[in-house]
A and B are shown apart, each in its own frame.
Chain A
Amino acid sequence: DAMVIQNPRYQVTQFGKPVTLSCSQTLNHNVMYWYQQKSSQAPKLLFHYYDKDFNNEADTPDNFQSRRPNTSFCFLDIRSPGLGDAAMYLCATSRDEPDEQYFGPGTRLTVT
């Protein structure tokens, strides 16, 4: 089945220790998004790629970076996680814009 896959589903990292979250898609969609969702809050867009073009949201901290080496994969790198970065991280894709977004199950990040 075509889908959006996120690995790992649960990630524990230490304060200040770099961590990478992974997203892959079999939908061949042009656009890939990363959202941060804290408990009982709206998903907040961090950045997105349209093909290879990277688009950062103005209020996304510099601590968050992303890479998209090919159409299928997109990574979220957190260079120095703080306690406030503990959240669910959601990856989504869409064929184009504006368009329905297909979400992965999310990676729950815990920072100790």
Chain B
Amino acid sequence: GEDVEQSLFLSVREGDSSVINCTYTDSSSTYLYWYKQEPGAGLQLLTYIFSNMDMKQDQRLTVLLNKKDKHLSLRIADTQTGDSAIYFCAESIGGGFKTIFGAGTRLFVKA
């Protein structure tokens, strides 16, 4: 079935790198996304990767995709307290409108 799994919590120190991991099940996924949700706000797209790519870098963000293992990761370099939020992994499936979200990883950044 369709499922996206990610760990619920991650705690890092300010200035360290954060790595948030995600696994998905649908091998036909065309796009994989990382969304960020801050308290009281809606989800905001951080970055996405096409399924035919292995890596994408965007400033402090690096996305790695391992299609064989259906594993997606988001690395945040030089993590700041403002990065504290919930990060959702998501995949678009079936070439259609449906996007499946994970339950979100809550990132705590300690000063």
Binding site for B on A (CB under 8 A): 4, 31, 33, 40-45, 48, 50, 55, 57, 90, 92, 94, 97-98, 100-106
Contacts and interface: CB of A to CB of B under 8 A. Distances in A.
In this complex, the member of B31, B95, B97, B102 whose beta carbon has the largest number of chain A beta carbons within 10 angstroms is B97
B102 A55 contact: no
A8 B1 CA distance: 35
Interface of B: 4, 8, 30-31, 33, 35, 40-45, 48, 88, 92, 95-104
Contact of A103 (B4, B42, B97): B42
A80 to B, nearest CB: 27
A42 B30 contact: no
Given A42-B100, A43-B88, A101-B43, 10 more contacts: A33-B97, A40-B104, A41-B103, A90-B42, A90-B43, A94-B97, A98-B30, A98-B96, A101-B99, A103-B42
Q: Which 6 A-B pairs have the closest CB atoms?
A: A103-B42, A98-B92, A42-B101, A103-B43, A97-B97, A42-B103
